[in-house]
Structure 1
Amino acid sequence: MPQTTVSTDVLKEAVRLACRAPSIHNSQPWRWIADAGTLELHLDVSRLVRSDSAGRQALISCGAVLDHLQVAMAAAGWTSFVDRFPNPNDHRHLASIDFAPMEYVTEGHHLRAQAISRRHTDRLPFAAPENPDAVETALRHAVADAAIVDVLGDDARPALVEAAAGTEAARLYDSAYHAELDWWTTSFDPTTGIPHSALVSAPEQDRVAVGRRFPVAHHQEQRREVPEDRSLVVVLSAFDDTRHDVLRCGEALSALLLTATMDGRATCTLTHLTETPAGRDVVSSLTGRALPEILIRVGSVPADEEAPPPTPRRPLAEVLTVNH
């Protein structure tokens, strides 16, 4: 492998772009260390969400930022070589990444990196995607062998709706859960959490029966031409119950979301359906997979809609340490 060293400025810009990755409640549970042209990715346990006490969603979030980083570096002209969990005595050290110059940066590399900035979580209802078979093929190709992909048909939707309602009912009197959800959606920290602009109103929420019940926004109802969510629901499952496989599910999530964005599709991750044993059991029964990790709605929205403002991200100095 060539030993050419990546400049610190290139690493900084790649990390800045990579940190646009989605994370549970926009908690951004990652920390980067740059040293002599290499990068290390670590789990920031201080950013764990209480409802994710086992840290599975945090690992998925870190997998997404890891894949985003590889996409950003490719657009800058560098191939990434990832060593996952390089230190058996430190499970918070998720990956070490070395780089080598790419022979040629294609238009596809640039378009994929641009999709990072365009992608956003859309909690409004979607119309069914045109040519769903082609969409499914593209998403399977993007995920490759990072995770198991299943696409649920319309016949699975009633069970998903029931599972979502059951999850909400189980948490009806869970004051700790609702207090935390309220904190992440009304955070006084302008660099984290879910901003008001990313929330939906009660009528909009009712039109996405499988969605998480966030505190509602109070604004005029949007996308009324889509009376009911008809999105494609994709499930990513882990091959095995290991930290490595869960991290890879996060990388698969990133690949899927960026591919959908490049193709002009709207997306919304559904983490709540796998946060409780009952919800995971329902999803597992629908897919026949033992370890469903995350669901994603994929669909179509009006092309002339104005994009929402970007959700906040922590300053680079808070997530990246540069060793000189």
Structure 2
Amino acid sequence: MPDTELIKKAVGLACRAPSLHNSQPWQWQFGGGELRLFVDPNRSMLGDPSGREVLISCGAVLDHLRVAMAAAGWQTVVDRFPDPNDPTHLASIGFTPIDVTEVFRRRADAILLRRTDRLPFASPTDWELLEPALRNVIGAGAVHLDVISDDARPQLVEASRLAESLRLYDSSYHDEIDWWTGSFEAAEGIPYSSLPSEAESHRVDIERVFPRPHHSERRLEISKDHATILVLSTDDDGRTAALATGEALSAVLLECTMAGLATCPVTHVTEVRASRELVATLLDREALPQVLVRVGVVPTHEEVPPPTPRRPLDEVLHIEN
């Protein structure tokens, strides 16, 4: 069985996973050779009343854990929702030894390289090679992947604006956004440096409206966002589907990072019923949109921004004696 120190390192790496507003709504327990993942109900949000995005976040951290353990020579054996009497218990994870490949190492390295980039992108390169790879990493299971065509982009922009307009006077939603983007130093939330200014946001047509920081305008050489937009969807809105969406999101983000591309998950359009239904009309099948991903290229001369903060490991991982 993997020892405690290895588990600590793997969980620490897994917790680099993206989550709604960097809320990190997960808890881990390790004991008896088994690692257990729980949702932290204290980190739910008013903007996510069903808890669907919390589960997507936890699915992402679960897949990141799988990647981290594979790079350390361990295959994960996951039992999802193992306790019908405890809805917070999302997964019990066992381990079997495996040989480490170079791909395993590169994928784990991608965890540290990935950033959520809210600035405009240039068009992704070699898309004809990347798209089959993305479909391969998520497989033919519960989660579907659609690529929004250029012709359908105006409708997607309309859905984005509709979602924002329907929440224009929702004070609780805006108060929550303000809290998670506070300028104070914290181990959670979105740093001001990661938010687009007013001028920068005008060049990104599909985005959540955050408070606008005041800083010098960046990435001026890209006058308009040319990101390719992906949609991850499922056949239903159950808990299993939400967790699987997070796992697929993790796989897509890491695959794009390995290809040298920038990414930004987008969820505000799936939080409002009217805009979500509009996105659904753009899919190649009858399905429920769960999360969008912007994918593109950023200038090579840019400095890589610092990683966003994460909660201390002893707050999210409990080691049983």
Aligned to 2:110: 115
Aligned to 1:322: 319
The offset of 1:145, in angstroms, is 2.9
Aligned to 1:98: 94
Could you give the per-residue CA deviations for residues 138-180 of structure 1, whole angstroms, max 9, x where no partner exists? Answer: 2111211341010001111111111111111111111111111
The offset of 1:81, in angstroms, is 0.2
Aligned to 1:88: 84
Q: Does 2:131 correspond to 1:136?
A: yes
Question: 1:118-267 counterparts in 2 under 5 A?
Answer: 118-146=113-141, 147-186=143-182, 188=184, 190-267=186-263
SS at the partner of 1:52? coil
Aligned to 1:309: 306
SS at the partner of 1:283? helix
The 8 Å contact of residues 234 and 297 in structure 1, kept in 2 or not, is answered as: yes
The 8 Å contact of residues 43 and 92 in structure 1, kept in 2 or not, is answered as: yes
Could you give the per-residue CA deviations for residues 209-263 of structure 1, whole angstroms, max 9, x where no partner exists? Answer: 1111111121111111111111110000113332111100100000000000000
Aligned to 2:12: 16
| Partner amino acid, structure 2, of 1:237 | S
CA distance in 2, matches of 1:131, 1:32: 38
The offset of 1:132, in angstroms, is 2.1
SS at the partner of 1:120? coil
Aligned to 1:289: 286
CA distance in 1, matches of 2:128, 2:84: 41
CA distance in 1, matches of 2:180, 2:237: 28
TM-score by length of 2: 0.97
The 8 Å contact of residues 145 and 233 in structure 2, kept in 1 or not, is answered as: yes
Aligned to 1:44: 40
Structure 1 stretch displaced more, 245-254 or 131-140? 131-140
The offset of 1:280, in angstroms, is 0.8
CA distance in 1, matches of 2:258, 2:243: 23
- Percent of matched pairs sharing the same residue: 55
Aligned to 2:55: 59
| Partner amino acid, structure 2, of 1:116 | I
CA distance in 2, matches of 1:196, 1:137: 35
The 8 Å contact of residues 183 and 192 in structure 2, kept in 1 or not, is answered as: no
The 8 Å contact of residues 264 and 294 in structure 2, kept in 1 or not, is answered as: yes
CA distance in 2, matches of 1:234, 1:263: 16
Long gaps (5+) in structure 1: none
Long gaps (5+) in structure 2: none
Could you give the per-residue CA deviations for residues 13-43 of structure 1, whole angstroms, max 9, x where no partner exists? Answer: 0000000000000000000000122100000
Closer/same/farther in 2, CA of residues 68 and 94 from structure 1, 3 Å limit: same
Could you give the per-residue CA deviations for residues 100-126 of structure 1, whole angstroms, max 9, x where no partner exists? Answer: 111x10111111001001101000001
TM-score by length of 1: 0.96
SS at the partner of 2:216? coil
SS at the partner of 1:269? strand
SS at the partner of 1:286? coil
Aligned residue pairs total 319
CA distance in 2, matches of 1:170, 1:136: 33
The offset of 1:187, in angstroms, is 6.0
CA distance in 1, matches of 2:197, 2:66: 36
Could you give the per-residue CA deviations for residues 182-220 of structure 1, whole angstroms, max 9, x where no partner exists? Answer: 000006461000001111111111111111111112111
| Partner amino acid, structure 2, of 1:40 | R
The offset of 1:322, in angstroms, is 0.5
| Partner amino acid, structure 1, of 2:245 | C
CA distance in 2, matches of 1:10, 1:145: 32
Structure 1 stretch displaced more, 257-266 or 159-168? 159-168
